[in-house]
Amino acid sequence: MFVLAEFERILRVENPSYESIRRSSLHTVTELVRREQSTFNARQLAAEITKVPVIKWQKYSRTRKYLMSEYPGLREQLRPQLINFRTFRWEKGAYGAINHILSWQSSTGILDDLAHILVREEVRWQMPEREVQKYVDIGYRSQGGHNGIGSATSTGSLGRGCDFHDALGPFNTTNMLNFIGSGALSFVMTQIYQQSNDNGLSWSDIPNSGYWIRRLLSYEGNQRRITIYKENQSNSADACSNTSVIP
């Protein structure tokens, strides 16, 4: 339980002359906690704490530790967050595949602080058009979704993940050999990356991590081609495509 007198004692132990000469970087924090707790909340306190330079908190490490352990709700507000989720690079793989290399950072600047976070994908699709259905595997002939092969996850402390997309995807290799249409068959999926900080009990979408994944089956020059496109829903420049000829 937070006790103001104990907070003041620890603060003075770390700096007996606190603000006796000039205003400290901790001024707003200390003034806030000296007020009645009913006049502010943990989120407001956390916002002020994050404004204090890291090097200053190194000097007042015991003061910060006391606040973190005793002020209600503060630890959760200051829990390290996954930030700057983005494409690190795209790679074109064999047989028309795409390797999507992703990266992210920790709000603390230390990836190990994200050991409590898991990252996964969520993929969804609608029922394909009738002419497409006979060329895809049975599991893709109606509306559905999945969370990756084996519902795989990456640990936040890795700071990087690789998402592999083969060119075929939902298309059935055997059935495709019967396709000789003049147009292209299209199968579209939506994908978003998610994070969990409670060991997978609940998941939330990572901002700006939504993608469209589109596969086209076409018949050109007596050859069947499968093309995959992946594009960020909020940034069209974040995209990649690859094509493969089906024997």
pLDDT in tens, 2-35: 999 999 999 999 999 998 888 888 999 999 989 8
Maximum Cα–Cα distance across the chain: 85
pLDDT at 147 over 80: yes
| Closest by Cα among 240, 236, 243 to 216 | 243
Contact 62, 14 (CB under 8 A): yes
User: How many other CB atoms are found less than 10 A from the CB of residue 49?
Assistant: 21
Reading the block at residue 2, the tokens are 């937070």
Quote the CA–CA distance of 178 and 34 in Å, as a whole number. 76
Could you tell me the residue ranges of all domains in the chain? 4-77, 82-246
E strand or H helix at 56, and its extent? Answer: helix 54-59
At residue 231's C-alpha, the angle toward residues 190 and 201, to 5°, is 40
pLDDT category at 243 given cuts 50, 70, 90 is very high
pLDDT category at 145 given cuts 50, 70, 90 is very high
Distances (CA, A) of 128 to 13, 28, 146, 166: 68, 58, 16, 19
| CB half-sphere exposure, 106, CA atoms < 13 A | 19
Quote the CA–CA distance of 136 and 102 in Å, as a whole number. 28
pLDDT in tens, 92-125: 999 999 999 999 999 878 898 899 999 999 999 9
| Closest by Cα among 213, 208, 188 to 87 | 208
pTM of the shown model: 0.76
Quote the CA–CA distance of 120 and 148 in Å, as a whole number. 8
| pLDDT confidence of residue 54 | 80
Instruction: Identify the residue whose tokens are 């704490």.
Output: 49
**pLDDT more than 90, % of the chain:** 67
Q: What's the sign of the alpha-carbon dihedral 27, 33, 34, 39?
A: positive
Contact 51, 164 (CB under 8 A): no
| pLDDT confidence of residue 19 | 87
Reading the block at residue 191, the tokens are 């994908």
Quote the CA–CA distance of 192 and 171 in Å, as a whole number. 21
